[in-house]
Structure 1
Amino acid sequence: MECVFGVVGNGFTIVVADTSAVHSILNHKTNEDKIMVLDSHKLIAASGEAGDRVQFTEYIQKNVALYQFRNGIPLTTAAAANFTRGELATALRKNPYFVNILMAGYDKETGPSLYYVDYIATLHKVDKGAFGYGSYFALSMMDRHYHSGMSVEEAIDLVDKCIMEIKLRLCVAPQNYVIKIVDKDGAREYAWRQSVTDAGVIPA
């Protein structure tokens, strides 16, 4: 019942993911961070099988770091997204990863960007995107309220609308979410939205 979504605003990209680690009907964790910092100006948010998600995102992170170490310059967000897509396409014909990815980044030349990569190696550059059961509701809210050139405050308000709609509509909705942002100042955690832990029901 995962939910990962993101939007591009005016000079930044925001990515949101639930923090639930679920197996079958059991919720093992409520503080699993599914958004990895690839480098100083890139984020990769992933959904899918837990083992595939962790292994593949770490593999991408290490290879992005290796490229920068060997060449002295970082990959652009577009190059990192295409590399990720290539690795998924190669694995698809051998031992596929069941993982869906939103890659967010900021480049000096092109500004903020968001790339959608699914488990069958489809790659698209998008202004807004989502994966998981919550995507049905998040995409509906973004279709209605998203506009290009959003400020950070407008984007966070839209994120909160999406989260509230998911919690309201989805019968098995995740309760907690992590929000991360990437802009000219770098990639970093922006906030958490914690409903269950705030109520003291489940320890973080």
Structure 2
Amino acid sequence: MFSAKHIRDDEEGHEGFKALSLAEPKVTGFEFVHPPIGIDAKDFVMSHFGPGAKANNMHFVKGTTTLAFIYEPATPQDTGGIVVAVDSRASSGEYISSKSVMKILDIGDRMVATMAGGAADCQFWTRVVAMYCNLFELREKSEITVSAASKYFANQLYNYRNRGLSVGSMVAGYDKRGPAIFQVDSEGTRLPLKVCSIGSGSMNAYGVLDTHYKEKMSDEEALKLGRRAITLATFRDSGSGGFCNIAHITPKGKTRYPPLDVNELFYEFAEELGRDLAYQPTDDN
């Protein structure tokens, strides 16, 4: 009895525990792998990437301008629908990390979601929503409504509220009920709107939309309004810039237009208004 080998409790199953710890975690559903006990995910992100972090180029700073509006056709030749316009700048603290980010993400053939806030958060959850919509259509043999897609989006974000997510999105599209736009954010808010703008430059974009938006417009007029609002917002908001990307959603489908440099658009709009770009002092001599 005394010669038997004694195995301590913490040694029993050690090899199995080691293999389990080194193996890649298997995520089921959409549950995130939680950090070790004692580390809060939100506090960890803020301490390393928040305003108090020492690395200025790694601050988690958001800057963007996105907008969407519904309009009716002014003439029989126009199609009407929804115009979605966004900028393309991604900020990282004091630096511009990218100037060519696509902030209009596809959900369905006639549905998109915009991206404002944390790029990774928006891209991940938009893909989750797109997957859910595809599975719904395969199962039900019918197109999902914009209302249902936005509700699922809001419910998913609500489950992770106060976890440090940063999402400000619009779900816009056409379904059997007609055109619809829903604002969704990381706190689970969901609002149906006809004219919407989200991002650090949204107040500037709203100024242009409130001035020039009409319920009935020609297609060309609506596209120009989207470009004008994004362009002028980028020149008043340091977090916005790059290119203007536009998607036009109609009952027949979705059309994406080539990106246009907001700098060139600003010169074009300034010339149209007959406005000087900068003050030129007079020569007293």
TM class by shorter chain equals 0.7 to 0.9
Shift of 1:49: 0.9
On the 8 A contact 1:3/1:133 being kept in 2, the answer is yes
Q: Distance in 2 between matches of 1:148 and 1:179?
A: 19
The corresponding residue for 1:131 is: 198
The corresponding residue for 1:106 is: 174
2:130 equivalent among 61, 79, 91:
61
1:191 equivalent among 245, 258, 271:
258
2:74 corresponds to 1:7: no
**Higher RCO (CA-CA < 8 Å; seq separation 6+):** 1
Q: Distance in 1 between matches of 2:158 and 2:240?
A: 31
2:145 corresponds to 1:83: no
Compare 84-93 and 53-62 and name the one that shifted more: 84-93
1:153-203: CA deviations, max 9, x gaps?
Answer: 1211211221232133224531212111111121231332224699xxxxx
2:225 equivalent among 154, 158, 178:
158
Q: Distance in 1 between matches of 2:128 and 2:255?
A: 20
On the 8 A contact 1:180/1:191 being kept in 2, the answer is no
Report the TM-score when normalising by structure 2.
0.64
Shift of 1:72: 1.5
Compare 165-174 and 95-104 and name the one that shifted more: 165-174
Shift of 1:38: 0.7
The corresponding residue for 2:235 is: 168
The corresponding residue for 2:269 is: none
Larger Rg: 2
Q: Distance in 2 between matches of 1:197 and 1:152?
A: 21
Shift of 1:151: 2.5
On the 8 A contact 1:41/1:186 being kept in 2, the answer is yes
Say how many residue pairs are matched.
Answer: 196
Equivalent residue of 1:112, what SS? strand
Equivalent residue of 2:101, what SS? coil
The structure with more strand, counted as a fraction of residues: 1
Mark the runs of 5 or more structure 1 residues left unpaired by the alignment: 199-204
On the 8 A contact 1:88/1:96 being kept in 2, the answer is no
The corresponding residue for 1:180 is: 247
On the 8 A contact 2:234/2:241 being kept in 1, the answer is yes
1:42-91: CA deviations, max 9, x gaps?
Answer: 01112111211111111111111111122221211111111111111122
Alignment of 1:43-54 (within 5 A): 43-54=112-123
The corresponding residue for 2:188 is: 121
Q: Distance in 2 between matches of 1:196 and 1:158?
A: 16
Mark the runs of 5 or more structure 2 residues left unpaired by the alignment: 1-62, 73-79, 266-285
The corresponding residue for 2:91 is: 22
